[in-house]
Amino acid sequence: MLLKLNDPLLLKTQAYIDGQWVNAASAKVFAVTNPANGLKIIDVADVGARETKQAIAAAEKALVSWRAKTAKERSQLLRNWFDLTVQHKDDLARLMTLEQGKPLNEALGEVMYGASFIEWFAEEAKRVYGDVIPATGGDKRLLTIKQPVGVVAAITPWNFPIAMITRKAAPALAAGCTIVIKPSEETPLCALALAELAHRAGIPAGVLNVVAGKDAVAIGGELTSSTVVRKLSFTGSTPVGKKLIAQCAQTVKRTSMELGGNAPFIVFDDADLDAAVEGALASKYRNAGQTCVCANRILVQDSVYDAFAAKLAARVDAFKVGEGTIPGVHIGPLINKSAVEKVDHLVSSALKGGAKALVGGKRSAQGELFYSPTILTGVTADMAIFNEEIFGPVAPLFRFKTEEEAIAMANATPYGLAAYFFAGDLARIWRVSEGLEYGMVGINEGLISTEVAPFGGVKESGTGREGSKYGIDEYLEIKYLCMGGI
């Protein structure tokens, strides 16, 4: 195993339950591999339903004293966790590049982005207010208080192995909830390292638990069927999200769902084309195109189509593909074989349908899981690539004539997570912003995620918002108190 950490104790391979590091009762393990070369990094305890039950019980037990702490006490512990995460950012980034594949500078960016949610919610913990409601009668006083929902579960994906955990765990803990986290089986090492740092930060046993295992159905089944777990927060694909919503219906659990996207990126004829190219590069190719807010369909107005394509091609052509640990690499490997196959299939069927590869258009010679950064021109809305989330470094360029047509094309999808557009005219900017059926809109901007703003989607992209002043509400119940006889 080629893994040099400044603090080797951050490499954890067991589940973290009730403040203890534990093996699977079955003694089973699963291999975590490096997508850049297919080599095993290390074996991790393959826990399942049994350990998940134990984690839920630990979270239930810990809830009593955790929710009784003052907001300031919880805030301080979260602050410690934030400080430790920042202090160990280089190790966390290294672990991430190793198990996930993204370039090291992007991994470092994600560690800091992930940490920012811990900092933010350490602060928000202290700002959970109730209301005094003007009463309907003089003998009454009406109030609301906010209380933690209780034990919560988080199921998280591999594309942001740290940030997708902190975005859920930090507001949950800040609100006074306890949590059981099931990270992706592709990237358990980052999750376990975060748990180790939470442990060192003094977050009490049982408040945060991590169960990593291959059998997502068994772990998910336990989390969703438990009557102790009051809420599930999930980030992942829309099909799995739908299944989990159905499972949660049995116990009428609250859910927050951050699901798939099919982001349009619209370039109007009055846009600053150079800025639009920068925006497209940032929004499309980060994490090799494996983010749910990645530009999926680039819609370009007829009169600037060729100029935009040429400018974008010049930049994408210069991208360096390779292992994320090599300095200067822009595009790392995709996460696994099926990811590469999906991208390959979408591109080849577009090419068969008459699209042209202006850049790339094929797998990369760098290795099995690498795909060449690609730009396709002449792509049309009847092709599969218009409807499906690509999750790879491929930019299909669609042509449109009018603003109405662009908005209609952008909205012609069941998804509604992020949308982007570049334009100059202020009236157009308002019209398009209001016309797009999306939870988030980047206007003359390709990177929109930040802990201070609400992240989330509409339609089949999900429910709920993460980050910002709204993010903590996902973990709070409003209780109405009616005081009579006054």
Whether residue 365 contacts residue 382, with contact meaning beta carbons closer than 8 Å, is answered with no
* Closer residue to ligand ADP, CB minimum distance, 86 or 216: 216
List the structure tokens of 338. Answer: 């099926």
- What residues are labeled active site? 258
What DSSP character marks residue 190?
Answer: H
Q: Which amino acid is at 38?
A: G
Q: How far is the CB of 359 from ligand ADP (least distance, A)?
A: 26
Q: x-or-dash pattern for ligand ADP, window 242-271, by CB under 6 A?
A: -xx---------------------------
Whether residue 112 contacts residue 89, with contact meaning beta carbons closer than 8 Å, is answered with yes
- Judged by CB under 6 A, how many residues of this single chain contact ligand ADP? 15
* Closer residue to ligand ADP, CB minimum distance, 103 or 236: 236
Q: How far is the CB of 260 from ligand ADP (least distance, A)?
A: 8
185 binds ligand ADP, rule: CB under 6 A: yes
Q: What is the DSSP string of 353-422?
A: TT-EEEE--SB-TT-TT-B--EEEEEE-TTSHHHHS---SSEEEEEEE-SHHHHHHHHH-SS--SEEEEE
Nearest to 291 by CA among 410, 436, 161: 161
* Closer residue to ligand ADP, CB minimum distance, 266 or 294: 294
Q: How far is the CB of 425 from ligand ADP (least distance, A)?
A: 37
Whether residue 99 contacts residue 189, with contact meaning beta carbons closer than 8 Å, is answered with yes
Exactly one of 236, 332, 396, 457 binds ligand ADP (CB under 6 A); which one?
Answer: 236
* Closer residue to ligand ADP, CB minimum distance, 103 or 241: 241
184 binds ligand ADP, rule: CB under 6 A: yes
Alpha-carbon distance of 107 to 325, in angstroms, equals: 10
Judged on CB neighbours under 10 Å (0-12, 13-18, 19+), 428 is middle
List the structure tokens of 157. Answer: 């994906």
User: Applying CB under 6 A, which part among 17-25, 89-97, 150-158, 297-305 lies near ligand ADP?
Assistant: 150-158
Q: x-or-dash pattern for ligand ADP, window 198-217, by CB under 6 A?
A: ------------------xx
Nearest to 87 by CA among 208, 209, 197: 197
Strand partners, 202: none
User: Applying CB under 6 A, which part among 5-13, 40-48, 153-161, 470-478 lies near ligand ADP?
Assistant: 153-161
What SS3 class is residue 31?
strand
Whether residue 45 contacts residue 191, with contact meaning beta carbons closer than 8 Å, is answered with no
User: Applying CB under 6 A, which part among 118-126, 151-159, 171-179, 375-383 lies near ligand ADP?
Assistant: 151-159
Q: How far is the CB of 221 from ligand ADP (least distance, A)?
A: 7
Q: How far is the CB of 138 from ligand ADP (least distance, A)?
A: 53
237 binds ligand ADP, rule: CB under 6 A: yes
Strand partners, 42: 32
User: Applying CB under 6 A, which part among 129-137, 155-163, 169-177, 368-376 lies near ligand ADP?
Assistant: 155-163
Alpha-carbon distance of 221 to 87, in angstroms, equals: 36
220 binds ligand ADP, rule: CB under 6 A: yes
Q: How far is the CB of 237 from ligand ADP (least distance, A)?
A: 3
* Closer residue to ligand ADP, CB minimum distance, 5 or 216: 216
List the structure tokens of 41. Answer: 């990094």
Exactly one of 78, 240, 277, 406 binds ligand ADP (CB under 6 A); which one?
Answer: 240
The residue of the chain with the least Cβ separation from ligand ADP equals: 220
* Closer residue to ligand ADP, CB minimum distance, 156 or 233: 156
Alpha-carbon distance of 161 to 189, in angstroms, equals: 9
Whether residue 147 contacts residue 141, with contact meaning beta carbons closer than 8 Å, is answered with no
Strand partners, 356: 377
Instruction: Name the residues that contact ligand ADP, by CB under 6 A.
Output: 155-158, 182, 184-185, 216-217, 220, 236-237, 240, 243-244
